Amino acid sequence: MTRLRILNLLSHGPLCVCSMQEILMAPQVKVSKHLAYLREHGLISCERKANWSFYRLVDSPNRLLIENLKCLQDLALEEPLFAADLVRLKRFDQASHCAR
């Protein structure tokens, strides 16, 4: 479920690990483990900026990612956890959070 939650967040734009950790209310180790899996499978990419790593969906998604994102759209409407993540995402100020 965490990987789907991450993909759902990243479908709205790039995020750093610390932002995802806060939005998902999950330990950094757990978030990083799932990010590594998604990256190894070509679903997301990473870009370093200063001390932070920003993750985003890949520019040229493979069939698996496209299918997952389609299912995710429906799931995000039905599953309260996904909706809660998006509410926290909208309230979250990544720029000030990552500047700490």
Sign, Cα dihedral of 47, 62, 13, 71? negative
Q: Which residues contact 24 (CB under 8 A, 6 or more apart)?
A: 2, 5, 6, 9, 31, 85
pLDDT of amino acid 47:
94
Q: Which pair of tokens denotes residue 16?
A: 């750093």
Q: Where are the domains of the chain?
A: 2-93
For the record, the structure tokens of 39 come out as: 């990256």
pLDDT of residue 36: 97
**What is the maximum span of the chain, computed from C-alpha positions, in angstroms?**
38
User: What count of Cα atoms within 13 Å lies in the side-chain half-sphere of residue 71?
Assistant: 10
The model carries a pTM of 0.85
Q: 39 vs 63, which has greater pLDDT? A: 39
- Burial, 23: exposed, middle or buried (Cβ in 10 Å; 0-12, 13-18, 19+)? buried
**CATH number of this structure's domain 2-93:** 1.10.10.10
Q: What are phi and psi of 84, to 5 degrees?
A: -65, -40
Q: Is the pLDDT of residue 52 over 70?
A: yes
